[in-house]
Structures are given as C-alpha cells and as structure tokens.
Amino acid sequence: MDMFTFIGQEWLLITVLFALIALYITISRKDSGLPMPSGELVRLMNAEQAMLLDVRSTSDFSAGHIQGSINIPHTKVATRVSELEKYRETLIVVTDQMGQHAGSVGGLLSKQGYQVRRLAGGISGWQQDNLPLVRGSKS
C-alpha cells in the first residue's frame, strides 16, 4: 500500500495524530516559557516587574549581555537554582544566544514553581532589534 492510499483511507487517524502533535507542542512551549519580545522585556525590567536570566557561558556573558541580567550558565542552573529564590514572585525571563537552551531552563524553572518566559530570539534577536549590550562580568 502506498502512502497516499493509506492517508486517503485513514484520514481521521492522520488528523488525530497531527492534532495530538500540535497539542503537545503547545503545552511544551507554554511550560518552557512563552516567547517575549524585546520591547516588552525592556518595559517590564524598567518597571522592576521582571528579571533576566542569561544562561549563556560566562565568557559569552562577559563579551556582551543585557544590562541588569544575571548569568547562570545553562549547565549549572539545576545546581544553582537556589540563587533565584529571591525572584520567586517575579517574572523570570530566560535568554541564551538564539533559544537553544532557554526552553529547557524555562521548563526546569517552571517545574520549580517560577513564573517563566523566554526572550524571543535570544541575544541575537536583541541585537537585531539594535538594542545595546554591556561588556564585563557584572551587570
């Protein structure tokens, strides 16, 4: 039986499969933190309603990061999560270079009861929006 015949005969099964996949993606995305545009992050940080967690390596963070962000490399978040306790009632926005680690860190923090979002596009998106980075190991 070829694939098109199968799809034609089992269209309901295929539809349910795609609906379940879409549902899984939606739930996973929400659990790891919905994306937040740069402008909204600036507004929330200026109003002290959010903190930014940069999960890139220490060397990448030192080379350029968003003012006011805190650096905990993604490989160390699980063991250093206690450092975020003072932000339990604050929205935590997670960023990395392009989004490759922010989702998994967001999921970890979400499971621990933190309110989490992800910076859309990461640091790369921030730079594409022509927003500034500061250098050095401290914000």
91-121 pLDDT, tens digit each: 999 999 988 889 899 999 999 999 999 999 9
56 and 113 belong to one structural domain: yes
54 and 106 belong to one structural domain: yes
9 and 46 belong to one structural domain: no
43 and 18 belong to one structural domain: no
Residue 133 domain flag: no
30-74 pLDDT, tens digit each: 655 789 999 999 999 999 999 999 999 999 999 999 999 999 999
Which pLDDT score, from 0 to 100, does residue 97 have?
95
The string over 19-42, giving b where at least 16 C-beta atoms fall within 10 Å of a residue's C-beta and e elsewhere, is: eeeeeeeeeeeeebbebbebeebb
Which pLDDT score, from 0 to 100, does residue 2 have?
84
Tally the domains of the chain.
Answer: 2
Phi-psi region of 116 (alpha: psi -120 to 50; beta: other; left: phi over 0): beta
78 and 37 belong to one structural domain: yes
63 and 24 belong to one structural domain: no
Residue 138 domain flag: no
- 41: containing domain: 33-128
Which pLDDT score, from 0 to 100, does residue 66 have?
96
Across 12-83, the runs of DSSP E, i.e. the strands, are 34-36, 50-54, 70-71
58 and 85 belong to one structural domain: yes
104 and 116 belong to one structural domain: yes
